[in-house]
């Protein structure tokens, strides 16, 4: 799938389809593995999506087929200019970069300050852990996660790029059922498998694109790793398959089912 500057992959288990966004053309894409078809639209409830646009979080509706989507409302607006990834933990509230928790009523609670670029939000509910990356610090942090309140506390660094002589930056990530992180290595041509409990780098999965942006598990058995990439020309031309979305099979692990956000 070649769509450009892609990120934010979300596997919808009910539809058995992959959704992802292209940030520069402000579009949402849907990939159906059963047919191989990808449809696109410019910018809980069926066909409703939460997307970030500038400092706003919008609720939009799209049927997965038409080339336009309707903005239903602004859920909330935050005062930091660089929101990036947004994902939902098990209870369906929304975490939005830099770092906010947004309730079903649209109330935004700031959880962390002084962050450059928020990335890689994921949870291990069994361990009551929340993992989070600030891309330009080249680190992954773990927080204690309160499953009842959604609060986070006790941050500590569990992985540093410098310790493993890695180049590029930390981008989006997901977690498997063994508690290991799968981290997009932007400008590194790879996805990293990391054990956050031991800080060990377990595996490098090569990707034929330099600017790897994010990853999520999907497929009927949640054992396919979908990986998005970008093709931003920053002094060096990025030719196809850069900017494509890839699927990786045969990893021998499974992911968690993604949770849809709940909004009133």
Beta-strand runs (E) in 62-209: 70-77, 86-87, 94-96, 100-102, 108-110, 118-124, 129-134, 139-145, 152-160, 169-175, 181-186, 190-195, 200-206
Confidence class for position 125, pLDDT limits 50, 70, 90: very high
Structure confidence at residue 78 as a pLDDT band (50, 70, 90): low
pLDDT digits (tens, 9 = 90+) for 153-208: 999 999 999 999 999 999 999 999 999 999 999 999 999 999 999 999 999 999 99
Mean pLDDT comparison of 17-21, 224-228, 255-259, highest-scoring range: 224-228
189 appears as a binding residue in the annotation:
no
**For residue 231, pLDDT beyond 50:** yes
Question: Which residues belong to the active site?
Answer: 171
**Residues 19-35, mean pLDDT to the nearest whole number:** 87
Confidence of residue 83 (pLDDT cuts 50, 70, 90): very low
Class of domain 6-248: mainly beta
pLDDT higher than threshold 60 for residue 109: yes
Query: What is the signed CA dihedral for 195, 189, 51, 137, rounded to 10 degrees?
Result: 60
Better-scored residue on pLDDT, 23 or 161: 161
- 85 assigned binding-site residue: no
Q: Where are the domains of the chain?
A: 6-248
pTM: 0.79
- Percentage of residues in the chain having pLDDT higher than 90: 50
232-238 own/partner pairs: CB under 8 Å, 24+ apart: 232/5, 238/209, 238/210, 238/211
Per-residue pLDDT tens over the stretch 250-260: 999 999 998 77
Q: Average pLDDT, whole number, for the chain?
A: 84
Query: Would the annotation count 148 as a binding residue?
Result: no
């Amino acid at each position: 799938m070649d769509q450009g500057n892609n990120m934010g992959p979300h596997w919808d288990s009910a539809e058995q389809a992959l959704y992802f966004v292209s940030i520069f053309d402000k579009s949402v894409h849907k990939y159906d593995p059963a047919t191989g078809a990808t449809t696109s639209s410019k910018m809980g409830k069926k066909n409703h999506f939460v997307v970030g646009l500038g400092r706003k979080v919008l609720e939009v509706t799209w049927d997965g087929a038409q080339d336009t989507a309707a903005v239903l409302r602004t859920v909330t607006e935050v005062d930091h200019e660089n929101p990036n990834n947004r994902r939902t933990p098990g209870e369906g509230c929304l975490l939005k970069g830099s770092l906010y928790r947004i309730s079903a009523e649209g109330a935004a609670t700031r959880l962390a300050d002084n962050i450059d670029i928020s990335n890689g939000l994921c949870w291990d509910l069994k361990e009551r852990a929340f993992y989070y990356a600030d891309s330009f610090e080249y680190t992954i942090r773990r927080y204690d996660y309160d499953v009842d309140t959604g609060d986070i506390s006790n941050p500590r660094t569990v992985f540093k790029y410098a310790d493993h002589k890695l180049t590029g930056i930390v981008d989006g990530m997901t977690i498997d059922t063994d508690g290991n992180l799968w981290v997009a290595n932007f400008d590194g041509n790879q996805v990293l498998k990391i054990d956050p409990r031991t800080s060990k780098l377990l595996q490098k999965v090569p990707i034929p694109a330099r600017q790897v942006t994010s990853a999520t598990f999907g497929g009927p058995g949640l054992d396919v790793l979908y990986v998005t990439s970008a093709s931003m020309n920053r002094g060096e031309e990025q030719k196809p398959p850069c900017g494509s979305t890839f699927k990786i099979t045969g990893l021998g692990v499974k992911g968690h089912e993604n949770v849809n956000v709940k909004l009133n």
